[in-house]
Each structure stands twice: as structure tokens, then as C-alpha cells.
Amino acid sequence: MPVLELQQVRKRFGQRWVLGGVDLVLPEGTATVLIGASGSGKSTLLRCVNLLETVDDGSILLDGGDITAVRADADAVRRRIGVVFQAYNLFPHLSVLDNVTLGPRRAQGVARGEAEGHARDLLSRFGLLEKAADYPDRLSGGQQQRVAIVRALATRPRLLLLDEVTSALDPELVGEVLSLVRDLRGEGMTMLIATHEMGFAREVADEVCFLDAGSVLERGTSQQVLADPQQPRTRQFLQRILTPGA
Amino acid sequence: MVAVDAWSPSPLQVERDRLRRRATLRSRLIAAVSTLAVGTLLVVAVTGSSGWPRVQAQFFDLATARDALPTVAHALLVNLEALLICGVLVPVFGMLIAIARTTQSPVTLPLRILAAAYTDLFRGTPLILVLLVIGFGVPGLRLPYVPTDPLFLGVVALTLTYTSYVAEVFRAGIEAVHPSQRAAARSLGLSYTQTLRFVVLPQAVRKVVSPLLNDLVSLQKDSGLISVIGAIDAVRQAQILTANLGNFTPYLVAGGLFVVMTIPLTRLTDYLAARDSRRRLAGGAL
């Protein structure tokens, strides 16, 4: 059974379809990368999966359970999904350790000692242990985003959503964040990733989906979509993004 | 892709919409029934008490209310007058004090100390004491040209006290504007004052609109306190009528009129607060 499955998901804002019937299947341990111009619906799709938006039609299944059902418990669903935002969204009033343990302790009822042990394990694995007592504004953008990823992992999610996690970073800090995501990919974390980093997409994606005006216009392995795109609009998009200024 | 107009939802979505409508209907029904139950219980508890007939005659006498209403309503104009004057003076003075308190230059230190001392003093003193001291103290000084009219002195006391509250509200708003906004404005070449005028204050005021209106509602009803220094306002008038008629109903009439007077502003406050939170949550379902 796939970890995540989208069936004909539709979402509209006013008189415009932001998602016009999207199908998507994420088998366990795979990474799916969404590419497409700003406004193509990547972020809205991620927000729908996390139930931050209500879909207007279609279904989203998490481990086979319909999370778009009216009676679905949104909090319970969100406890099983980790999200990393473009702008980090760390809590400025909490230390790194408290940021990471907030979810497990308050939403999952894990005891403090156990939550902190797990948090320290994760932090040390990603070279952040010495920052545990620091507050977010003391960290660089790259460190903040890595902490945000650790925070998302701390709840042991079934699925990780990454929404353009490097877009707010200085170019020289992008590498440290992407290498972390690469590690997670190696460990078999199921991920749905929206990104503008084509090199990274090529490397981690089991499937690449090109979104255009709310529809998946082209999909396939990174080889197929990125190296040999069939649709003119995909080619156009890749051209624009690979040769900026052209 | 199907145009939004031409689109017909799938059976799944139709079913989902139906369930959602039913859930909404059920919550509304539960809310209505429980409100009704609590209301009925309150009415029964009060009107069923043994002392109710006497209280009803003393406080809820319709004939007395009808007689008292025109006189009390007329006296309410005094409260409205006080409110209008204070409503203009308080925000102006409050803003000036707030600006004085948030200056940063060493030159303005005395200004900051003065502003802080003022707010500390008047925020900490009960309004009724300020009213009594101003209302009976100032006439006692026999200063030339200073009116001794209780309405005038009442307005002075109300303004002094409420300015200190409102100044603190404005100060909180100013301090809540992120420092990067000042940095951006100054780097455009705007002076300190221009930065304040065009960048900081507009954002600060927007942040504090609802607490500000809250203070204004509070000012509206506290205008009834000027009766203690002899102004013939709605409260004082009700007191006189109560003494003459031997019935407490005029007090309730005055109370009712105050509530009616504050309701439009209270609703406006709610509306603005709701609009503000909608804007902050734009595009979210949390």
C-alpha cells in the first residue's frame, strides 16, 4: 500500500482552479519531486496533503485511510506528517531543543526525558547538537532550516513534506540542507518535495512531476522528465530555470 | 481543464458536502438548544425567587421607566458631550506621550522620564480619586480664567486618566513594529520623524485599533462618573429621580441607555478584530 495517494484532487480559489484534478502515488521509501513555475500549485498541493487547505473534490489517502473524509481527525493526520516550510517557521521564543521536542511532548505525550534523548540523537546525527541550547535567531539560515527538518523528524512522521526548503537560503548554505535531505532519502523516508533545485531533483527523485496551471503535465523518472522532456511547456520551463537571464 | 462554472462535483464530493452541511446544522442546533436552556434556567431562577415581586416593583416598574426615560435620556447628552471631547483629546495626547516615551536620543531623556512619570501616576490612580481631586481641588485654588464648571473639570480628569492608558496602548503598538522596518525606512534616507510618520505609526496604529476601541468603550461608560463632582449627567439625573419617586427604576433606565450607547462601538470593535484575524490567517484553515 502506498504511503500517500492523491486521487483527482481539486482545489479552487474563487473562479480559478489551483489544482485541477491531480493524481499522485508515493510508494513507501520513495521521493516525489514537484517542479513548476510559481503559482503552478505546488505549495497548494502540499498544503492540501497537510490539511491546511480543504480540497474541493477528490481524495487524499494516507496509508490507505481517506484523510479528506469529513470525519477525519486533522490533528491526528498532521501528527503523522512532517512539514518543512520555506521560511523555516521555527518558534523564536523556544531554544533549539525545545523547538524539536515541542511536538513529541505536547502533541504525542512523550515524556520529557525520552523526547529530549531522541531530539539529541537527531541533532547530533545532523551536526547540530552543540546548538541545542541556542535560540533560533542565533543560528544561520542553513542551521535554522536543518533544525526545522529535525523538528519535523522528531515526531517520527510517515511522510515528510518539503516546500521549497532552500528558497530562502544563501547559495552557499543550500548544500548543507540538501545533503541532509539526501541522507533522509538514503534512510528510506517517504518524501514529497517542491523545489526549484533541478540538480537536487535529478539526484533524489524517484518520480518527477511537472505541474502547470494546477495539472500534472508531465511525469516520469528524473531521467525522462528532466533530461528528455516531451511537452513543450516542460522544455520551456526547464530552459528558463537552467539558464537564468536567458 | 473544466471551467469552474461548468464543473459538477463528483459523487464523493457531493456526499462530503452533504455530511459537512449536516455537521454544521447539528452544531447550530446544539448551540441553540443549550442557549435556550441556560436562558430559561436563569429566568426561572430569578423570577421564581421569593423576593422577586418586591424587586420587580422597585427596579422594573414600567410606569416609572416611561416617566424617567425622557429626562434621563436628555441628561445623557452631557455624557455624550464629555465623550466626544475626550474622544478627540485622548488619542491625540496619548499619541504624543507614546511618541515621547519611545524616542531614543539621549537629548530627549527628560521627555521620556516625564512621560513615564505621567503614565505611571495616572494609570495607577483610581479614576474616581482623580475626579474628586480635580473637581473639588481646582475650584478651591480660585485660579483666574479657569472654569469651575463640573463638566469641564470632569472632562479634564477623564482625559488625564484615559490619556495614560491610551499612551501605553500606542507605545505597545510602536514597539511591536519590527526594527527592520525602521532600518529599511532610514536606509531610504527618511529622517527619524519621517520614519515614525510614514512607516512606524501607520503600522503601529493598525496593530492597536481593537484595544484602542476597547478603551473608548470603557471611556463611554466611565463618563457616568463625572456625576460625583456634580455634573447633571444621566447617572446623576437617575439618582435625583430615584430620590423623588422612591423607586430604583431610573437607575436601570440609565444603565440601559449606557448599554445602548456602547453597543455600536462594541460591534465595531468586534468587526475590526475579526477582520484583522481573517487577514492574518489569509489562505489558512487553522
The domain limits of chain A are: 4-91+157-242
Is B108 in contact with B96 (CB distance < 8 Å)?
Answer: no
Is B167 in contact with B117 (CB distance < 8 Å)?
Answer: no
Which H or E run contains A144?
Answer: helix A141-153
Mark A128-145 as b/e (b = at least 16 C-beta within 10 Å).
Answer: beebbeebbeebebbbbb
Whether pLDDT at B65 is above 50: yes
Q: For cell 523547538, what's the residue?
A: A99
Q: Classify A23 as helix, strand or coil.
A: strand
For the A4-91+157-242 domain, the top CATH level (class) is: alpha beta
Locate the chain B residue with the closest alpha carbon to A47: B284
Nearest to A70 among B9, B16, B286 (CB): B16
Distances (CA, A) of A133 to A129, A130, A150: 9, 8, 15
Determine, for residues A58 and B286 on separate chains, whether the beta-carbon distance falls below 8 Å: no
Q: ipTM value of the model?
A: 0.77
- How far apart (Å, rounded) are the C-alpha atoms in residues B93 and B98? 9
Whether pLDDT at B41 is above 90: yes
Determine, for residues B20 and A20 on separate chains, whether the beta-carbon distance falls below 8 Å: no
> Is the Cβ of B23 closer than 8 Å to some Cβ of chain A?
yes
What are the pLDDT digits (tens) for B131-160?
Answer: 999 999 888 888 888 888 899 999 999 999
Question: Closest Cα to residue A21, out of A49, A50, A55, A52?
Answer: A55
Whether pLDDT at B281 is above 70: no
Locate the chain A residue with the closest alpha carbon to B1: A20
What are the pLDDT digits (tens) for A140-194?
Answer: 999 999 999 999 999 999 999 999 999 888 888 888 899 999 999 999 999 999 9
Whether pLDDT at B5 is above 90: no
Q: State the smallest CA–CA distance between residue B8 and chain A in angstroms.
A: 10
pLDDT band of B285, cuts 50, 70, 90: very low
Helices (H) and strands (E) in chain A, counts: 9, 10
Whether pLDDT at B122 is above 70: yes
pLDDT band of A246, cuts 50, 70, 90: low
Substitution target in A15, A57, A60, A61 with the highest count of B β-carbons within 10 Å is A57
Is A21 in contact with A58 (CB distance < 8 Å)?
Answer: yes
What are the pLDDT digits (tens) for A102-149?
Answer: 999 998 899 999 999 999 999 999 999 999 999 999 999 999 999 999
User: Which chain A residues touch B1 with a CB distance below 8 Å?
Assistant: 17, 20-21, 213-215
Domains along chain B? 59-276 (1.10.3720.10)
Q: State the smallest CA–CA distance between residue A41 and chain B in angstroms.
A: 14
Give percent above pLDDT 90 in chain A: 75
Q: Cβ contacts of residue A159 below 8 Å, gap of 6+?
A: A3, A4, A26, A49, A62, A80, A81, A82, A190, A191, A192
Determine, for residues A70 and B23 on separate chains, whether the beta-carbon distance falls below 8 Å: yes
Distance, C-alpha A69 to centroid of its chain = 22
- How far apart (Å, rounded) are the C-alpha atoms in residues A41 and A214? 5
Mean pLDDT, residues A71-92 taken together: 91
Neighbours of A52 (CB within 10 A): 17
- How far apart (Å, rounded) are the C-alpha atoms in residues A151 and A139? 15
Whether pLDDT at B282 is above 90: no
pLDDT value of position B61: 87
Q: State the smallest CA–CA distance between residue B13 and chain A in angstroms.
A: 5
Strand order across the A65-66 sheet? A16-26, A4-13, A57-62, A65-66
Angle at A128 between CA A98 and CA A197, to 5 degrees: 105
Question: Closest Cα to residue B120, out of B158, B167, B87, B76?
Answer: B167
Task: Please state which of the ranges B48-52, B124-128, B248-252, B271-275 shows the lowest mean pLDDT.
Answer: B271-275
Mean pLDDT, residues B82-87 taken together: 94
Is A152 in contact with A84 (CB distance < 8 Å)?
Answer: yes
Angle at B210 between CA B204 and CA B216, to 5 degrees: 110
> Is the Cβ of B282 closer than 8 Å to some Cβ of chain A?
no
Mean pLDDT, residues B277-285 taken together: 62
User: Which chain A residues touch B16 with a CB distance below 8 Å?
Assistant: 68-70
> Is the Cβ of A39 closer than 8 Å to some Cβ of chain B?
no
pLDDT value of position B120: 95
Mean pLDDT, residues B240-249 taken together: 90
> Is the Cβ of A69 closer than 8 Å to some Cβ of chain B?
yes
Question: Closest Cα to residue B4, out of A49, A11, A6, A216?
Answer: A11
Distance, C-alpha B17 to centroid of its chain = 41
Please state whether the predicted TM-score (pTM) of the whole model is above 0.80.
Answer: no
Q: Classify A16 as helix, strand or coil.
A: strand
pLDDT value of position B267: 87
- How far apart (Å, rounded) are the C-alpha atoms in residues A178 and A173? 9
What are the pLDDT digits (tens) for A57-75?
Answer: 999 999 999 999 998 898 9
Which one has a higher pLDDT value, B36 or B284? Answer: B36
Mean pLDDT, residues B214-229 taken together: 90
Beta-bridge partners for A31: A191
Q: Which long-range contacts (CB under 8 A, 24 or more apart) does B207-211 make?
A: B207/B173, B207/B176, B207/B177, B208/B169, B208/B170, B208/B172, B208/B173, B209/B272, B209/B276, B210/B269, B210/B272, B210/B273, B210/B276, B211/B169, B211/B172
> Is the Cβ of A111 closer than 8 Å to some Cβ of chain B?
no
Mean pLDDT, residues B228-234 taken together: 89
Locate the chain B residue with the closest alpha carbon to A16: B4
Distances (CA, A) of A147 to A46, A81, A126, A180, B6: 20, 17, 9, 11, 46
Is A11 in contact with A48 (CB distance < 8 Å)?
Answer: yes
Is B127 in contact with B133 (CB distance < 8 Å)?
Answer: no
- How far apart (Å, rounded) are the C-alpha atoms in residues A225 and A209? 8
The full DSSP string for B65-120 is HHHHHHHHHHHHHHHHHHHHHHHHHHHHHHHHHHHHHH---GGGHHHHHHHHHHHH
Task: Identify residue A93 by its one-letter amino acid code.
Answer: H
